[in-house]
A = this chain, B = another copy of it.
């Protein structure tokens, strides 16, 4: 529709049969309104018919129970993280089996990692490696639970993945996660061509991929050949329009008043949340390698994702955005059998294949 909202009065007068002269007078007095907060009424979200049965079940799940129950101590955060990790890990044996992927723990320059290797590495990926930084609001998904996304990536992409089990609160605070990821990046640079390597992560991990690139630039380290940043926590200052429009619509994160922003603040440990190493949308992205971004229409972090996409494009970076119908935050990581999961990772694999050196 081309009719500007501030002219709606004119249009409604026309519909009522008002003469053209009156329309013109009316229009002359019509002014663009001053911006004001606007109330959106309650509504029922219908069940989307435009996603697979598996995804329908995921996107229509109730809001995460106790999404606004915020732990008060490091021990309480750790208990929550450990319980979540135990639950996630129950899925992983089946995922590894379906996707023909093996996971082996290791330590690299003092940092815990997991080698996540597909049974068959594609010929074009023989010399390639992805460094994976897991999500979980900088506090969740410790240990092997960190490998969920890496398993999907290795399995669907037929590529080796090195997943960083970075230190988290209450063991260590900002910038420990980033320090550990950069330690691993420096280690793999000793024996690998950076142009044959990529960064991948989602949520806090999506932010970390961008923070790693910012830090690498600052340290004059080589950048990778490409980055896959899934629905990044690119702005932890609670800034971004979908924090409001998708509040209570996103059944995973639910609200900026919930556990995830609290966890990020717990990790920040008093550090300025607007620092680009915590809110990378504030960073200088000139010179970044090609970057693929993934989100969903119900994602609380859709704005955080598209703002990074536009920022990269405005910095002249090749950046590709995929947004999945009806998905809330990171729901493309939830069911390895959902066609949308395969679709997301095949798009990401194709992007890496296009941009990483062979």
Contact = CB atoms under 8 A, between A and B. Distances in A.
18 contacts: A1-B136, A3-B136, A7-B88, A10-B86, A11-B84, A11-B87, A14-B83, A15-B69, A23-B87, A24-B86, A37-B46, A37-B60, A38-B44, A38-B251, A43-B248, A245-B246, A306-B323, A306-B324
Contacts of A41: 42, 248
B244 A46 contact: yes
A200 to B, nearest CB: 14
A179 interface: no
Given A17-B79, A310-B322, 12 more contacts: A1-B259, A2-B203, A3-B64, A12-B69, A14-B84, A23-B86, A33-B57, A35-B56, A37-B46, A241-B298, A313-B347, A320-B321
A8 interface: yes
A306 B325 contact: yes
Interface of A: 1-15, 17, 20, 23-24, 27, 32-51, 56-67, 69, 71, 76, 79-80, 82-84, 86-88, 90, 134-137, 140-141, 145, 148-149, 203, 239-242, 244-249, 251-253, 259-260, 297-298, 302-303, 306-307, 309-310, 313-314, 320-326, 329-330, 333-334, 343, 347
Interface pairs A-B: 7 shortest CB-CB: A14-B83, A35-B60, A3-B84, A8-B65, A241-B326, A7-B87, A12-B66
A136, A203, A240, A325: residue with the most chain B Cβ atoms closer than 10 Å: A325
A90 to B, nearest CB: 7
B36 A5 contact: no
Contacts of A260: 1
A120 to B, nearest CB: 23
Contacts of A69: 12, 15
Contacts of A82: 14
Contact of A39 (B43, B88, B314, B329): B43
A343 to B, nearest CB: 7
Contacts of A134: 2
- Most B CB contacts (10 A, CB to CB) among A3, A37, A203 go to A3
A74 B63 CA distance: 46
A43 B43 CA distance: 10
Contacts of A302: 297, 323
